[in-house]
Each structure stands twice: as C-alpha cells, then as structure tokens.
Structure 1
C-alpha cells in the first residue's frame, strides 16, 4: 500500500519548491577582489576560459577556501555530499564568514545524504545572507518516518542530484568529482579518494552559474526552511562549536598542510600557469530526468558520442564502472578498430560498494577478450606521492594521504585521442546515465589532455593498480607489477571471502539499472 500510494501520488507527496526564484549576480570590473584579480587576466585572453587541474586533495580544499575568502559578491555551492566533519565544517565556516561580509551564499545539497544534518544546515540558513535548499527532499527529516517515506516514495527518491560545483563571485568555478569531506581533501586517517577537479575562470563560469540557477529554481528543489525550524540556543551552540573547532590543534595541523601546498605557494607568488582555451564547455543534465524524456542532451548521449569519435585511444577512469551491454560493445568495437582502449576502476578491495563491483565483474571477461585493457586500483595505494613531479606543469605534486592506510578511486574522467576529454561527476554506469543528474567539463585542448593523460598513467601504473588479464588457460588473473619479482594473482586481490561472496551475489541479482 505504501509503494502503491507512492506511485499514484508521487507528485503530491514531493514537497513543492516555495522559494523565490533567484539568479546569479552580475559580475563587475572591480567590485570584488576576484574581479580585480581576474579582470586583467581575462582581458589578455578574450573569449577563452582558463583551467587548472586539481589532482591533490589539499590543493582542492585550498582552492575552495581561498576563493571563499576573496569572494565579495556571491558563493553558489552545489553538492551531492557535504559531510559534517572537520573539512566540511571548515568550509561551512568560510561560507559563514563570507556572508558576514555581505556575500550572498546559496547552498544546494542533495537530501539523500543530508539526513540528520538539519541542525547545522538550519544554522547556516538562519543567516540573513545564506539560503539552503535541498534537492528532492524527504518530508520527514529523521527516524522511522524517514525510512517509511523512503519505502513509499522509493521510485521518486531514486533520482538524485550528483552535481558538484563551487562558484565564487561568478568569476571562479570548481567543477569535478569531489564532494566535501575528509576523504576528498586528503584529511582522512582511514582512507582517502583519488579524485580530480577543474578550477575554471572565464566565460564558462557563466555557464556553470546558469546551470546552478536552473537547479536552484527547479521544481525538484525545496527551501530547507520549509522542512524544519531551529531555536536560538541551537544556533548559538552550533556557531560556538564550529568556531572552537576552527581553533583546535587538529584544524591548525590541517591548515598548515594547506598553507604549505605547492599550489597555494604558486598562487600567492602569481606563478600558476592555467591552460587557456575556447574549447572548454561546462555541461550538465537537466534538473529532472524523467523516464520517456528525450535523452539526446543528457550527459549519457554526449559521453557516448565523444567515445564513438575515438580514432587512436580512449582512456577511461571510472570508480563505479558498470558498462552494460551497449558500452561494452562500444569499447570492444573501438579496440577492434585498432583504438587503444584502457579503463581504470576500483578493485573489489578498493570499491566502497560491493554491489557495483558485482555489476562490473559480469562484463570483465568480455572486455578483456575484446582487447580492452583493464586496471583495478589497489586499496593501499602503494607508492602514491611519487609520480606527480614528472607530469605537466599543471599537475601538482601529490602529497599523498597523511596517515591514511587505504585509498579508493573517485576520479571520473576520460580522454579521447590527443586532445579531447571530460572531467566531472559522471560514472560509466546506469545510475549516472539515467537516474542521477550529472555535471562536468568537456574540453578539446592539448594541455588539459596532457594533464589528464599523466593522471591516467599514474593511476594505471603498477604502484597503484593491478593489471587484469587472462592467463594461458583463459582464467582471470591480476598482475602485481609492484612485487619483486612481479607475480600473478588468481583471485580478487586483497578481498575477503565475505566481500567476494557479496559481489558474486549482487552479480546475479537484477539490480543493474540501480548501480
């Protein structure tokens, strides 16, 4: 009865967007520090967008924090996940301090990961210059009622906003794969993600702002203030706690690492060298992806067309790789035409979602037999931090995870031939294709391609990944090229029997459309 009522009444059960429409504020020549800093740079490169790759998590945090500190007009922030941890609270504090200076802050979060975080979000929303809205939210904010609503509205709640964008003053945009949290910024003691963003300034930032506005004003988005309220005591306690944490020893140690970043030092010395191009394009799915809609302009169609155009090489990085029959056939067909096709994804031991690995594993043998090269990331990320110094100038040296014992792949990107590629939030799986909204950057630029190729080779190298292949008997084998001497492994490396059983079970369940 719950599920049936959800199917019949889905549109009525979804909270409506009662928020007033608002749009990106117009840029000015010298209104803010970012205007004054970037204006002359953009004037020397008319019609072109500047781009810097952010490989290292410390650099990625620094870019967000520094742009927030320099913002004088607006911050538009759009994320799938914003963890209530040290880095999440530090960046929330930067947004709060910007609002204290009169900066308008709009924070748009997907609600599937916002459960239980209403108090700090309502504190932010309580500032007169900050507004928080949630994508496809639950009416019930916690407890058993939220679980029952998930059952009732399961089909409509299955559509999520996976976009990631940080836009300051309409001048700077950070677009890519990172959410906000310890593991995305090299700050986790347990496991950190290999991830990738692009820092953009120029005409395409306006396009990123237009995408944000389309989501902000869409019917799928609801003001947080419609869903809960907060007392003054809660506000005071939360603000005091965040302020105390910002002065803590842990925060100081992390910020010392940020301030010591080579990219931060290069920025302060004005020696960063962005790639300038008029062939950089920020793209996104529409705010709502309904079954039966025309998918021609969705990212799935654009990604498919880009891959089909490969003539020499197609190098793919996807942490959650469930290619399905169509993409598997495409990759095998490309390899059959003499195109070098390589894929870096998570191993079972490194993947944080065993179900996804189960979905991927059913296509692995066919891809290998068809000439596709597969690399699976090792969970311990052995040797990370040794490969960054030899790459292009915009690929910053990798500091590696501080104190972490593991790593997982989160980069979502691909490179076609010598210059064309994509960096963003899009996984090569059915969920990114048809259920989640996704966002990213297409480019046709040799410099950005060189950066991405260097990162692909770093991730696919023996220090970080096992190369998957078929042995003389046609059985799956994993080459451990970092061992002395190199050795072949005959079962999913470093994965427990329980995890292998999980992946095997999910492989045989009819769940692929949800992966």
Structure 2
C-alpha cells in the first residue's frame, strides 16, 4: 500500500490551492471588472443656480459680490474650531442647496453634530446631495440610509462595494483589488452655490479640535463667488458619473432609521463631553460670520480644480491635478515651500527638487515625523529620500507628535499629526487642497484643491508654513559631520539633537524599516 502524504505535503497542497483560488478570484475581477462594479442608477441632477437675495447666504454676500465683480473671495480656515463653525454657519444660512463631497465622514460627535445641521436644513426645504467614498463608509449603511430616506436628501457612494459587510465584502476586495484601489479623496462643502469650503479636512472629531488625544493640523479655504461655482461644477461631474451609486440601490432601507439617527444626533449635542466643545463653538457662531467677521480676500486669480471622476480610466493626464501642480512647481524661480503629511517624492520628484536647489531656488518641506505619522507605511516610503534631499540642500522639517507650546492644541498637550496639504511658489502662487505629495494622490485617488496666483494669499500661506516649521512644532533635520541623519529640537534649551527618530520605540522603527523593504511605493 502506498503511504499517505506527509503533513508537510498536505499543507503545501492546501497553500497551493488557496493561492490558486486567490489568483482565480483576482483574474475574474480583471476580466469582469465592469460587470462586478455596481452600476450607477441615480437620476442626473445639477447644482441649483444662485439667485439674488433668495437666501440668507445670498443676502450676506450680495454687497461684497457687487463690489468685486468677476472676483472670488477667499479666507483660510486654520483653526479646527473655526473650520467647524464655518461649516455649521453656512449650513444654517443655506436656503437652497447643500452639496457635500467627502472621503471620510466619521460616526462620532462632530459627525453627528454636522448631520444634525444638515438634517435641519433639509427640514426647512434645502436640497441636500451627499457624496461619500465607500472605502470608509463601512458599517454606516444604517445612518446613510436614514438620511437618504428624507425626501430632500440623497446619498451616493463613490466606487462602492456590492457586498456591504462581512466575509463577502472581504472577498470582493480581493477580487476587485485593482479597481477598488481607486478612491475619491475630494473634500468640499458647498452651500447655495455661493460658498464652498475646500481643503484637507474630512468630517471627524480629530479634524476640528474635538478630541483631547489627537489634533490634526489642517487647512481649508472658504470661497465665495466664481470659485464656489467651479466647486459646484466639479461636484456635479462626480455626482453624475458612473462611479457614484445611490445608497438605496446597495442596501435595503428601514423606516425607523431616520428617527433613530435624528434622536442620536440630538443626544450627542446634550452629552457631557460635547458641552465644552459646543460652548467654545458658540463664540464663533454669529449670523454675520461669512459677510462680516470672517474677512474675505478678493481676487480674480483663484480657481478650483479636480481630477476627473473616472481618473483611472482617463489616459489623458493633461487635466490631472498632478500635471497642474507639476507645472506650477516647474515655474519656481526663487522659492518652493511644500507642506504634505505624506511625502513620497520618488526618484523623479527628488531629482526635480534637487535641480531647483542647484538653480538657486530655496526648497523647504514640512511633513510628519514617524511619531506623528498615522500611516507608518507611508513613512517607510519617505525615509529613503531624506538623505539625498538633505545632501542636495533641501530643508526638511518633521512635525513633532507633541508640541512644546500651549498653542499646539486647544486641549493643551495632545497628540498632533500634520494633515495640511499646501504649496507656495515664489511667494505668489500656491495650492491648498486634498493632494498629498505621494504616488497615491498622483495616480490612484481623485484629488481636489484651490490654485491661486495672488501675493496676499501666498503671504498668508507662507506664514502658516513658518508656524508649522517653527521650533515649537517641528524638528529640523540635518546631516552631522559624518553625513549621518540627525533631528534637532530647537525648542529645547539648549537645543537637543537626536540620532534616531524622536519619540519612537525600537519596535516602531524596526517595523517601518521592514516595511520599507517591500515594493509598496506605488501604492503609498
């Protein structure tokens, strides 16, 4: 009798079969991608056109728009509390429409408070369109279906999963690994087609100074005038694309969900942990917020741009945001300042920055330190480029996980992470938006932001760069006499130097180093 296979051979066969099944699953996804992706079934719709003096927002901006024909008004939203207040105020003043487009909307206190504002707007007759990327909407179907059940609210998901939860969702992720990798990273809050808030913030407590343990340093631009209309046109393009699928076509609704959601949002507003935040917020909420207290700078050289909704299917990269930003950086003559939480320039980007330095351009970069980075894999992609950049004369700053100044967080000493994505060129041209300086933003995700050619806006953005790169908030990177990488904490007295990544453990450093050996850079 022939002996039975050994345990090792049986295990090898099992692994082979599992691998073959996975390959077959992925192959079927490649061959049947168009059929596996949920089809858009929603009715087309477009932004409601602004009308003179129809809504409180129309009336609040009427005089300023008349005084600046053809120009757009802009104001930076640096402080997290002010960024929340701006969204809340324009939502409460909206009388016609709300178009909201986000990569993430968290199921937390801030998310519930803004849902409450949006629901109240719908109750008074405002049309609401909410477009979310589906990758981060897992487990939120009940809440989204509840909103969608309102007769004046419609919710759509970008590039959604057919399977909403459990093992089947995981299997679909494997099968559609290539098509599911393309996500909508855009962020826009558009009220009445009059005001648009565009920038880097998702909707969640950490983005609005509402979590004591985390403080994301982020940046938005509040826009009025023609730029707000450009943001509306971008929203329409995404909303009506075949990548956007109504939530109602993906999951069954429940008649009780809307009442439950509203009750939960109202309860959040009364919870003990929300009261201090709401008390601080009341100081910012005034009826004249947009027209008065928040001063707008007016310019005819402000534009909102986005990648196309089906970027991964578009072979013409001339209209991609990476192409526009590359052209802006290529025009630098004396200064390039970059702020990016995830910075993976690649060999080409590194060479271009080094060439700028060789041509006499000052190049400065702020990104997260390992301790402040919320995605260790991205840091593993960035760490390879520090030495060549420093050797070539680029100035590098890494944000500390904890600022030494009381101003570093509204809650005192708290964790910090850079989330701002911005560029300043020659103290005149600039960009603020969702675009990280990494391959994922360049080639995989759709991104959105504001490009300007205006010395006043550039000066204000340069001040934010100088604040973030200052001793209280960032380490200064340099090479010692032996050419070794060092971190300088200039806030210490005397200044202190570090020979390893500050505020990290050996396990963090070892894990990041191991990840850096993997061929993942194109996905970062």
Give the shorter-chain TM-score range.
Answer: over 0.9
Q: 1:46 and 1:268, CA in 2 relative to 1: closer, same or farther beyond 3 A?
A: closer
* Higher deviation after alignment, 72-81 or 291-300: 291-300
Aligned-residue offset at 1:266: 7.8
Q: Is the 8 A contact 1:184 1:193 kept in 2?
A: yes
- Equivalence for 1:187: 210
C-alpha distance after superposition, 1:31-78 (max 9, x if no partner): 101111111210001110000000000000000000000000000000
- Equivalence for 1:466: 475
- Equivalence for 2:513: 504
Q: Write the distance in 1 (CA, Å) between the matches of 2:499 and 2:61.
A: 54
Q: Is the 8 A contact 1:192 1:406 kept in 2?
A: yes
Q: Is the 8 A contact 2:397 2:476 kept in 1?
A: yes
Q: Write the distance in 1 (CA, Å) between the matches of 2:152 and 2:76.
A: 31
- Equivalence for 2:336: 314
Map 1:233-312 onto structure 2 (within 5 A).
233-261=256-284, 267=289, 270-290=292-312, 293-312=315-334
C-alpha distance after superposition, 1:68-96 (max 9, x if no partner): 00000000000000001000010011110
Q: 1:291 and 1:240, CA in 2 relative to 1: closer, same or farther beyond 3 A?
A: closer
Q: Is the 8 A contact 1:188 1:401 kept in 2?
A: no
In the alignment of these two chains, the number of paired residues is 501
TM-score calculated relative to the size of structure 2 = 0.94
Q: 1:404 and 1:8, CA in 2 relative to 1: closer, same or farther beyond 3 A?
A: farther
Query: Which of 177, 195, 198 is matched with 1:175 structurally?
Result: 198
C-alpha distance after superposition, 1:406-465 (max 9, x if no partner): 100000001001210000000000000000000000011111111101100000011100
User: Which 5+ residue runs of structure 2 have no aligned equivalent?
Assistant: 1-23
Residue 171 of structure 2: SS of its match in structure 1? Answer: helix
Residue 431 of structure 2: SS of its match in structure 1? Answer: strand
Q: Write the distance in 2 (CA, Å) between the matches of 1:103 and 1:234.
A: 20
- Equivalence for 2:443: 434
Aligned-residue offset at 1:267: 2.7
- Equivalence for 2:457: 448
Q: Please state if 1:40 is matched with 2:63.
A: yes
Aligned-residue offset at 1:265: 9.2
Q: 1:170 and 1:269, CA in 2 relative to 1: closer, same or farther beyond 3 A?
A: closer
Q: Please state if 1:100 is matched with 2:111.
A: no
- Equivalence for 1:331: 353
Map 1:371-390 onto structure 2 (within 5 A).
371-383=393-405, 385=407
Q: Write the distance in 2 (CA, Å) between the matches of 1:436 and 1:384.
A: 36
Query: Which of 393, 414, 417 is matched with 1:408 structurally?
Result: 417
Q: Is the 8 A contact 1:425 1:438 kept in 2?
A: yes
Aligned-residue offset at 1:495: 1.2
Q: 1:369 and 1:280, CA in 2 relative to 1: closer, same or farther beyond 3 A?
A: same
Map 1:214-229 onto structure 2 (within 5 A).
214-229=237-252
Q: Please state if 1:423 is matched with 2:432.
A: yes
Q: Is the 8 A contact 1:355 1:502 kept in 2?
A: no
Q: Write the distance in 2 (CA, Å) between the matches of 1:272 and 1:195.
A: 18
Q: Write the distance in 2 (CA, Å) between the matches of 1:291 and 1:82.
A: 26
Q: Write the distance in 1 (CA, Å) between the matches of 2:404 and 2:130.
A: 37
Q: Write the distance in 1 (CA, Å) between the matches of 2:314 and 2:237.
A: 21
Q: Write the distance in 2 (CA, Å) between the matches of 1:192 and 1:271.
A: 25
Residue 216 of structure 2: SS of its match in structure 1? Answer: strand
Q: Write the distance in 1 (CA, Å) between the matches of 2:34 and 2:506.
A: 44
Aligned-residue offset at 1:404: 5.9
Residue 42 of structure 1: SS of its match in structure 2? Answer: helix
Q: Cα RMSD between the aligned structures?
A: 1.4
Query: Which of 487, 493, 496 is matched with 2:502 structurally?
Result: 493
Aligned-residue offset at 1:363: 0.8
Q: Write the distance in 2 (CA, Å) between the matches of 1:499 and 1:512.
A: 19
Residue 22 of structure 1: SS of its match in structure 2? Answer: coil
Q: Write the distance in 2 (CA, Å) between the matches of 1:29 and 1:482.
A: 52
Residue 296 of structure 1: SS of its match in structure 2? Answer: helix
Q: Write the distance in 2 (CA, Å) between the matches of 1:438 and 1:190.
A: 28
Q: Please state if 1:210 is matched with 2:219.
A: no
Aligned-residue offset at 1:268: 8.0
Aligned-residue offset at 1:175: 0.2
Query: Which of 69, 76, 88 is matched with 2:99 structurally?
Result: 76
Q: Please state if 1:60 is matched with 2:83.
A: yes
Q: Is the 8 A contact 1:59 1:264 kept in 2?
A: no
Q: Write the distance in 2 (CA, Å) between the matches of 1:404 and 1:231.
A: 43
Residue 407 of structure 1: SS of its match in structure 2? Answer: strand
C-alpha distance after superposition, 1:231-261 (max 9, x if no partner): 2233332322222222323333211111224
- Equivalence for 1:137: 160
Query: Which of 64, 71, 87 is matched with 2:110 structurally?
Result: 87
Q: Write the distance in 2 (CA, Å) between the matches of 1:304 and 1:68.
A: 35
